[in-house]
Amino acid sequence: MDFLRLVKVLLKINIQMSLAYRADMVVNILVNLMWLGWELLSLNIIFSNTSTLGGWGAGELIALLGVFRLVNTLMAALLWPATERFNASVRDGSLDYTLLQPANSLFLVSFARITIWRAWDLLLALVLVAVGINMAGDVITALNLLYFFALTISGTLIIYSLWVVLIALTFWFTKFDNNVTILQALLDSGRYPVSVYPLWLRLIVTFIIPIAVATTVPLQALRGELGITQVFSFLLISAVSFIIAMQVWRFGVRRYSGASS
C-alpha cells in the first residue's frame, strides 16, 4: 500500500508540473510529430530504391519503428529526465536525501520526474505497430500478441538495466555526464532489424549489449517467428540483465561517500 501511495503522489506531482507548462507540452508534441514525419519520409526514400531491407519490407520497418519509438518513449518519459539530476546529486552530495528516504533509492532516482505528455507518443507508437503489421499482411494470434507485450516489457527492462549501470558509474567517475548520450547511441541501433548488421555486430546487439532484444525481437514474436524456447531465452536475458544492474547499483551506493565527505 505504501508503494502504491508513493506512485500516486509522484504521478500527481508530475501531472501538476506538466499542466503548469501547457504551451511547452503542445510544442513538444508538434515537434515529435515532425520527427515522426521525417522518419517515415526516410523509410519512403529507402523503399523507393529497394523492396526489402535485411529481408524486411516497408510494413515491417514501420512496425519496427513503432516498437523502437515505444521503447524510446518509455525511456524518455521515465528515465532521461532523472539522469541530469542524479549526476548533479552525486557531485554535490544531495543524493543523501534520497538515500535517507524510507523507500527504495533506485525507484526514487528513476521515477521522481516523469514526462507525462509522452503518453501521447506511446499511443502513436502502438498505432505505427498496428499500421505496419496490417501493411505487411501478417496474421496476429492471441499467443503472438502475448509474446509481443511480454518481450516489449522485458526489452524495456534490459534498456533500464543498461541505464542503471551507466548512471551507477557516476559513483566511480564523478564527472561522467554522458550517460544518456551513450545509451541513446546504443538504442539507435534498434531502429533497424538486426538482420541488416554483419554477424559480429548482430551478436553484440543481441547478446552482449542486447538492444535488439528490445526492438527487433518483440516484433519477430508478434509476427510468429519465435518459438516458446526462444521467447523464454530472451526473457531470461532480461532477468539476468536486471540482476546484474541491481548488483552494480548496490556496489555504487556503498561507494558513495555523501555530502559529509
Residue 92 has which C-alpha cell?
554535490
CA angle 144, 150, 151 (to 5 degrees): 90
Mean pLDDT (the chain) is: 81
Mean pLDDT of 92-116: 79
Residue 142 lies in a domain: yes
Residue 261 lies in a domain: no
Predicted pLDDT of residue 3:
60
9-18, 67-76, 107-116 — which is least confidently predicted? 9-18
Residue 162 lies in a domain: yes
- Residue pLDDT, tens place only, 45-67: 888 888 888 778 888 888 888 88
Residue 238 has pLDDT above 60, yes or no: yes
Taking the alpha carbons of 8, 14, 19, 20 in that order, is the dihedral positive or negative? positive
Residue 67 has which C-alpha cell?
516498437
Residue 12 lies in a domain: yes
How far, in Å, CA of 104 to CA of 242, rounded?
15
Could you give the percent of the chain with pLDDT greater than 70?
88
Mean pLDDT of 12-16: 70
DSSP secondary structure string for all residues of 166-187: HHHGGGTSTT---HHHHHHHHH
How far, in Å, CA of 142 to CA of 146, rounded?
6
Residue 104 has pLDDT above 50, yes or no: yes
How far, in Å, CA of 126 to CA of 138, rounded?
16
Residue 260 lies in a domain: no
Q: Identify whether the C-beta of residue 129 lies closer than 8 Å to the C-beta of residue 215.
A: no
Total domains in the chain come to 1
Residue 95 lies in a domain: yes
| Structural domain harbouring 169 | 2-255
5-9, 145-149, 212-216 — which is least confidently predicted? 5-9
Enter the pTM of the model: 0.80
Residue 261's pLDDT band (boundaries 50, 70, 90)?
very low
Q: Can you list the alpha helix ranges (DSSP code H) found in the chain?
A: 2-19, 22-47, 58-78, 80-92, 95-99, 105-111, 119-136, 142-168, 179-187, 199-203, 216-222, 228-255
Judged by DSSP in three states, 53 sits in strand
- Residue pLDDT, tens place only, 114-170: 777 777 788 888 889 889 888 888 788 889 999 999 998 998 898 889 888 888 888
Residue 8 has pLDDT above 90, yes or no: no
Predicted pLDDT of residue 243:
93
Judged by DSSP in three states, 138 sits in coil
Determine how many CB atoms are found less than 10 A away from the CB of residue 33. Answer: 13
- Residue pLDDT, tens place only, 65-76: 888 888 888 887
How far, in Å, CA of 53 to CA of 56, rounded?
5
Mean pLDDT of 17-37: 74
Q: Which residues pair with 211 in a beta bridge?
A: none
Residue 19's pLDDT band (boundaries 50, 70, 90)?
low
Closest CA to 73 of 104, 18, 130, 28: 28
Mean pLDDT of 74-87: 77
